[in-house]
Amino acid sequence: MTKKARQADTVNEPSEGAVGRRVTMDKLAELAGVHKSTVSRALRPGTTFYQSPTAQRIRAIADSVDFQPDRYAASLRTRRTGTIGVLVPRLSDNLQAVFYESVVRACTSQDIVALVAVTGDDPVAEQHAANALLGRRVDGLILTSTRVNGEYPAQLAQRDVPYVLALRHNGTDHSCVVSDDRAGGYLVTQHLLELGHRRIGIIAGPDHASTAVGRRQGFMDAHRDAGVSVEPDLVHKSMFRWQDGYDIATKWLSSANPPTAIFAVNDEMAFGVVAAAQTRGLDLPGELSIVGYNDIPSAARPPMPLTTARMDIGALARAAVDSLRARIDGEQTANRTIPVTLVVRKSSAPPSFSAR
C-alpha cells in the first residue's frame, strides 16, 4: 500500500481520484443522531423545516466538519447538474474572453459552473461541441456563435434544451440577450455627421452576424435622418478581424476620393484602420476620423485613444445567465437589450479642410 493511499483506510480502496472530502450525509446523520434524509432536508433552503432548530443544528455540524454534498450523486437523482455550457468562437478575441469571464463570475455567485466549448466559427464543430456539452448533461446552453441564423437553435428547442442567444440574435427567437446594436451604430454615425463628415466609410462585418447588421442599420438610419446619402462604395462587408480593417482602409485610403471618416463595427478592425492610416503617414484624427465599437480595454490607450461605442458586457453576461436560469426553470423569457453609449476620445474630430 502506497503512502499516498494510506489515509483512505477502507479495504476496498477507491482506485484513485478520490480528491479531498470524505464526509457523507450518512456520517453526518450519525453525528447529528438523525436520519440521512433529515440531513438532506436540513440542507435545502425553501422549506419551513429549514428554519427549525433541528435543521440549524444539523447545518452547524455540517459546517464544523466542512461537509460538501456530492453533487454527482445529487444530480443522479435530480437530473440537474448545476452546470451550463457556453459556446464561443474563440477566446483569443478579447470581447468574447471578457464575456465568458463575466459569465463565469455570474455563475460562480450562483453556485453554478460554466463549461466552455470553443467552436472556431465552424458550424460543424459547434454542433459537435454542443453535443459533447449536452452529453455532459449541462442544464442549458448560452450560444454566442456567429451563425445562429441556421437551424441549430430550432433543433435545440425541439429537444427541449434550454438555451439563450447572447451577443447575437435572429429574427425568430425570443431568448436573445444583445446590446442595442442599431442604436449604437446610430450614435456613432450621428457623432461623425455632427462633426461635419459627409463621406463616411463603414467596415460592416459579416451579414450572418446580427450585431453587424444592426450596427449597419443604425449607420443607414442616421444618414437618412440627416439627409445625407450613403456612398455604396463606402459600405464594405468583412469579417471581424484586425486584418479586415487594415486591408479595407488601405484600399480606401489609396483611392482617388477617400472617406474622411471610417466606422469599423468593432475595435479590432478600428485598430486595423489606425494602423493602415499610420502606415500611410496620415495625421490622425485630422486627416481621418476613426470610430470603433465595443470599447475593449486597449481602446482607451494612447497614443490614439479610440472613439467607440460601449456596452456593459458584464451586465449582458449576467442577463444571459439569469435568462437561461429562468428558462431552465421552465419559465418563458423575453428578449433583453442592453443599452449602448458613445465614448468620444481622440480618434474622431472634424474633417480638416484639405481632406474635405
Amino acid found at 185: G
Question: 23, 31, 43, 113: which one contacts a copy of itself (CB under 8 A)?
Answer: 113
Q: Going residue by residue from 22 to 41, which x/- string records binding to DNA, judged by CB under 7 A?
A: --xxx------xxxxxx-xx
CA dist 39 → 43, 68, 304 (Å): 6, 12, 61
Amino acid found at 191: H
Residue 200's beta-bridge partner residues? 261
CB atoms within 10 A of CB 255: 11
Q: Going residue by residue from 120 to 149, which x/- string records binding to a copy of itself, judged by CB under 8 A?
A: ---------x--x-xxxxxxx---------
* Residue closer to DNA (CB basis): 43 or 228: 43
Residues 11-50 that bind a copy of itself (CB under 8 A): 14-21
Helix (H, G, I), strand (E, B) or coil at 215: helix
Q: Dig out the grid coordinates for 208 from the structure.
A: 450572418
- Where does 139-292 show beta strands of DSSP type E? 140-143, 163-166, 176-179, 200-203, 235-236, 261-264, 289-291
Query: What are residue 117's phi and psi, to 5 degrees?
Result: -130, 135
Question: 108, 110, 255, 341: which one contacts a copy of itself (CB under 8 A)?
Answer: 108
Helices (H), ranges, 227-288: 242-253, 267-279
Question: 65, 76, 154, 344: which one contacts DNA (CB under 7 A)?
Answer: 76
Whats the size of the chain, residue-wise?
Answer: 356
By CB under 8 A, the count of residues binding a copy of itself is 67
Residues 202-231 that bind a copy of itself (CB under 8 A): none
Is residue 284 near a copy of itself by the rule CB under 8 A?
no
Is residue 15 near DNA by the rule CB under 7 A?
yes
Is residue 70 near DNA by the rule CB under 7 A?
yes
* Residue closer to DNA (CB basis): 49 or 341: 49
Helix (H, G, I), strand (E, B) or coil at 344: coil
CB atoms within 10 A of CB 250: 17
CB of 39 to DNA, least distance (A): 7
Span of 113-121, 170-178, 210-218, 258-266 interacting with a copy of itself by CB under 8 A: 113-121
Q: Going residue by residue from 160 to 179, which x/- string records binding to a copy of itself, judged by CB under 8 A?
A: xxx-----------------
* Residue closer to a copy of itself (CB basis): 206 or 305: 305
Concatenating the DSSP letter of every residue in 309-341 gives EEE-HHHHHHHHHHHHHHHHTT-----EEE-EE
With residue 117 as reference, give the H or E element that holds it. Answer: strand 113-118
Query: Are the C-beta atoms of 169 and 327 separated by less than 8 Å?
Result: no
* Residue closer to DNA (CB basis): 55 or 317: 55
Question: 2, 7, 12, 92: which one contacts DNA (CB under 7 A)?
Answer: 12
Out of a copy of itself, DNA, none, which partner does residue 37 contact, by CB within 5 to 8 A per kind?
DNA
Question: 30, 49, 65, 233: which one contacts DNA (CB under 7 A)?
Answer: 49
Torsion of CA 140, 144, 150, 155, to 10 degrees: 0
Closest listed residue to residue 270, CA positions, set 210, 193, 188, 335: 188
Residue 336's beta-bridge partner residues? 177
Question: 63, 159, 229, 354: which one contacts a copy of itself (CB under 8 A)?
Answer: 159
Catalog residues that contact DNA under the rule CB under 7 A.
12, 15, 24-26, 33-38, 40-41, 43-44, 48-49, 52, 54-55, 69-70, 73-74, 76-78
- Which chain residues interact with a copy of itself by CB under 8 A? 2, 4, 7, 14-21, 68, 70-73, 75-76, 78-81, 90-92, 94, 97-98, 100-101, 104-105, 108, 113, 115-118, 129, 132, 134-140, 159-162, 242, 246, 271-272, 275-276, 278-279, 297-298, 301-303, 328-330
